[in-house]
Structure formats: C-alpha cells, structure tokens
C-alpha cells in the first residue's frame, strides 16, 4: 500500500477503484453513533460528497441518528469493499451542512424521494397504510411541482480526525495505514493486523 501524505487522495483512488469493481453502491458507508447512555447504533447511509472538509451524508434530523448526533456529534464511518478486500474507517465529528448546501442537494433528488422525505417520520413506528396515505397527501400538497426541503431534513459533514485504510493480504499480513490529524495536517503510521 502506498503512503501518500493526503488521506483524501488515497480515498479518491480507492473509491474510484470500488466504483469500477462494485458499481451497485460503492458509496455505501456504515455509521455508528451513540445515545446519551453510550448505547451504540449502526446503520448504512450513502456518501454524497467528500473532500478535505470531510465526508457528507444526508438524513432526517428527527431520526435516531439525527437525535444522537445532536446530543453527541462523535461518530465512526466504515466503507467496506469486499471484492477488493478493502475497508476505510473514519473517526470524527459530525457538523451540520449549511442550509444552502442542504437545499441544493435536496433539489437534486428525484421528486419521489423529496415527497418521501415529507411523508416519512423516519425511524418511528409505522402503521399499515399510513406512509402511503401521507405520501399521497404530499403529492397533492405539492401538485404545483415545487417540493422544498423539510426543515428537519439536512446533511452532516464528518470532519475526520483519524482515518484508517485496511488492505487484505494473504496469511493475515494485512496492511493497515492510519492517518491522524495533528493540527498541521496528517501524520501517518502503520499498525499490525
């Protein structure tokens, strides 16, 4: 595994290779958060942007993950690309994206996804037929075509302070390259598998 000084350049390379090898959902990442008692929860979200500022995903802020991030913004994200025997673990702090950024991304989503954001109470108990009825109500309410972003729907930037790249190798001699933010950039070191 190469040892570039910029973890984002290495991530770009790995994501491009994953996109070629696993074209269905190469941007799927698992994120782990914790509630006020430290009880962890894990789910899959989609990476919707990345760069030196961090890694971006969107969600309903009323959801369990939204509530947990509001109370404890620390989280861990994991990309696992099985066919490439690779994973990337990102530790950091989630900060909300600016409203204009959330608005722009929301407007780029398919109409049905935008209506679904209004109709769904993400993570809440679901009664038969209620979601479908709420979706129909939202279709009617937004019949003019405009579907603005709900005030409870937004995005987060994971601002990393530690990123680990793991590359599988035979005989469990895996490569593990760790980047740690040091205030001036990134320091790197390898760790044993």
Task: Answer yes or no: are the C-beta atoms of 114 and 58 closer than 8 Å.
Answer: no
Grouping H, G, I as helix, E, B as strand and the rest as coil, residue 107 is helix
Secondary element (H or E) of residue 150: none
From 126, 172, 176, 184, the catalytic residue: 172
Which residues lie closer than 8 Å to 79 by C-beta, 6 or more apart?
14, 15, 18, 28, 29, 47, 86, 87, 88, 90
Q: What count of other Cβ atoms lies within 10 Å of the Cβ of residue 120?
A: 19
DSSP 97: P
Nearest Cα residue to 158 out of 100, 104, 90: 90
Q: Is there a catalytic annotation at residue 72?
A: no
* Residue ranges of E strands in the chain: 28-34, 40-46, 49-51, 54-60, 74-81, 86-96, 153-167, 175-181, 186-190
> Which residues are known catalytic residues?
172
């Amino acid at each position: 595994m190469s040892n570039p000084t910029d973890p984002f350049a290495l991530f770009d390379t790995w994501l491009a290779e994953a996109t070629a090898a696993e074209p269905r959902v190469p941007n799927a990442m698992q994120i782990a958060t914790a509630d006020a008692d430290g009880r962890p929860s894990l789910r899959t979200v989609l990476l919707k942007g990345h760069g030196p500022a961090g890694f971006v995903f969107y969600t309903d802020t009323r959801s369990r993950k939204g509530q947990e991030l509001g109370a404890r913004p620390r989280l861990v994200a994991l990309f696992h690309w099985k066919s490439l025997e690779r994973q990337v673990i990102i530790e950091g702090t989630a900060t909300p994206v600016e409203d204009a950024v959330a608005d722009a991304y929301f407007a780029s989503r398919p109409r049905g996804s935008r209506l679904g954001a209004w109709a769904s109470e993400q993570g809440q108990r679901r009664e038969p037929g209620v979601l479908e009825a709420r979706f129909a109500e939202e279709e009617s309410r937004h019949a003019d075509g405009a579907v603005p972003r709900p005030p409870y729907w937004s995005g987060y930037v994971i601002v990393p302070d530690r990123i680990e790249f793991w590359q599988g190798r035979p005989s469990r001699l895996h490569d593990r390259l760790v980047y740690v933010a040091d205030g001036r950039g990134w320091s790197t070191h390898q760790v044993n598998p």
